[in-house]
């Protein structure tokens, strides 16, 4: 799961997002990353035996750790399947309606908190995390915040600038299983990467990958929160790795900075206000009251991660898969508005962005364009568009006025109305 508020660990932390525990939230880690972004899983029938195999080889854990590192994973852990303590928080979060239109969050009931019911025969869960900050791009909180002040430019969540993480994690988790089978022999298993109703963040925390931050993402003292999460459900009785204590203290930086105040309380996120949810998971019109707050964010939002003090320890990915694609690093809104569907599919091939489709992408870009056109030049610190930039942006928007999707039509009309010289 991508840690990006969405999913977003994302929504990721999604969107890959999965709300869990007393503070339910589900991203990309990243709403990076973490939401139910795909339905692909790799599995082998799990044992139905009431007496699970007990693995005793002393070298198993060392072999597993080395195999994980060889495959590019940043850390692995193990936990059991009893998540009963997380159930009240999950139910309360759903009852509050914080999942918005993500009906799949509720459709599986408490199976989300019961791995052994989701996949009968599961005895242990091996968790992994994978750092995703790209190697080929200069990154810092200052640079990212500067991008948010460039109205003619769109901002894509960092996790989505490279290859679709589902593909990367799924293949590597399957290879990890195969390496493990060389040590213990065939065993029942199933691989998950944001691919089923799994409480990924809860499993990650219980296995010692980190603690739950006030922004609902998993935080690690040595790696911050810019990492993906994945799981391997197995029918082996493995010794659990110890969990870790929380280290957020009195810090409220993520709550204070959230543009839409989606983090309604420490450890509680209302996805209906989250930019990652709104730009990725939400298919309908974006509420008008929230549109100006989204600014030029066109896919996801990383604000609560960049402001987190622990992300000064965030690590670059060791995999070229997550290298940022040039068209997604500093994209110009006018260029993006000129992408037809064929161009969109070409430019997002192999990217997590493709899953939202061209229409939703257009809705997001059109919204950002409207916010750019609405900038008041008299406002202190404002960076209004030049006259020729406004004119070009208006023309690019106007070409989509008759788009077959009524959501896109409405968004384009709203955005055009933000300009004083709207074409008639």
**Encoded tokens for 68:** 């994980």
**Encoded tokens for 401:** 């006025």
Answer for the pair 195, 232: CB distance below 8 angstroms, yes or no.
Answer: no
Q: What contacts 50, CB < 8 A, 6 or more positions away?
A: none
194 flagged as catalytic: yes
Residue with tokens 């599961």: 122
CB neighbour class for 22 (10 Å; exposed up to 12, middle 13-18, buried from 19):
middle
Report the alpha-carbon angle 390-395-396, nearest 5: 95
Q: What contacts 326, CB < 8 A, 6 or more positions away?
A: none
Phi-psi region of 163 (alpha: psi -120 to 50; beta: other; left: phi over 0): beta
Cα gap 17→6, rounded to integer Å: 5
Candidate list 194, 270, 302, 321, residue with the active-site label: 194
Answer for the pair 9, 229: CB distance below 8 angstroms, yes or no.
Answer: yes
Task: Give the active site residues.
Answer: 194
């Amino acid at each position: 799961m991508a840690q990006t508020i969405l999913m977003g660990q994302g929504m990721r932390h999604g969107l890959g997002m999965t709300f869990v525990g007393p503070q339910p939230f589900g991203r990309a880690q990243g709403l990076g990353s973490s939401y139910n972004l795909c339905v692909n899983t790799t599995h082998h029938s799990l044992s139905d035996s009431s007496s699970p195999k007990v693995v005793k080889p002393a070298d198993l854990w060392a072999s597993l750790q080395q195999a994980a590192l060889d495959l590019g994973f940043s850390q692995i852990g193990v936990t059991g399947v009893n998540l009963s303590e997380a159930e009240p928080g999950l139910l309360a979060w759903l009852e509050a309606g914080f999942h918005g239109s993500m009906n799949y969050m509720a459709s599986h009931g408490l199976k989300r908190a019961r791995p052994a019911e989701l996949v009968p025969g599961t005895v242990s869960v091996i968790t992994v995390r994978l750092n995703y900050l790209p190697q080929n791009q200069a990154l810092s909180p200052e640079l990212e915040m500067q991008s948010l002040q460039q109205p003619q430019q769109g901002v894509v969540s960092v996790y989505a600038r490279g290859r679709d993480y589902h593909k990367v994690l799924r293949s590597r988790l399957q290879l990890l299983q195969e390496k493990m089978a060389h040590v213990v022999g065939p065993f029942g298993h199933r691989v998950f990467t944001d691919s089923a109703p799994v409480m990924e963040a809860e499993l990650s925390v219980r296995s010692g990958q980190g603690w739950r931050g006030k922004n609902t993402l998993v935080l690690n003292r040595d790696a911050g929160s810019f990492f993906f999460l994945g799981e391997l459900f197995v029918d082996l009785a493995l010794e659990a790795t110890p969990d870790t204590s929380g280290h957020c203290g009195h810090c409220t930086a993520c709550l204070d900075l959230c543009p839409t105040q989606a983090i309604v309380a420490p450890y509680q996120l209302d996805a209906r206000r989250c930019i990652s949810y709104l730009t990725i998971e939400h298919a309908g019109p974006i509420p008008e009251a929230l549109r100006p707050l989204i600014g030029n964010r066109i896919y996801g939002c990383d604000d609560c991660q960049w402001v987190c003090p622990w992300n000064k320890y965030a690590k670059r990915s060791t995999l070229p898969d997550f290298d940022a694609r040039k068209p997604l690093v500093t994209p110009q809104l006018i260029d993006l508005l000129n992408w037809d569907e064929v161009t969109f599919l070409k430019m997002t091939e192999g990217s997590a962005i493709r899953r939202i489709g061209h229409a939703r992408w257009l809705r997001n870009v059109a919204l950002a364009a409207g916010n750019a056109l609405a900038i008041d030049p008299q406002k202190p610190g404002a960076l209004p568009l030049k006259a020729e930039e406004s004119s070009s942006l208006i023309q690019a928007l106007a070409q989509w006025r008759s788009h077959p999707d009524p959501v896109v039509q409405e968004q384009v009309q709203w955005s055009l109305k933000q300009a004083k010289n709207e074409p008639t």
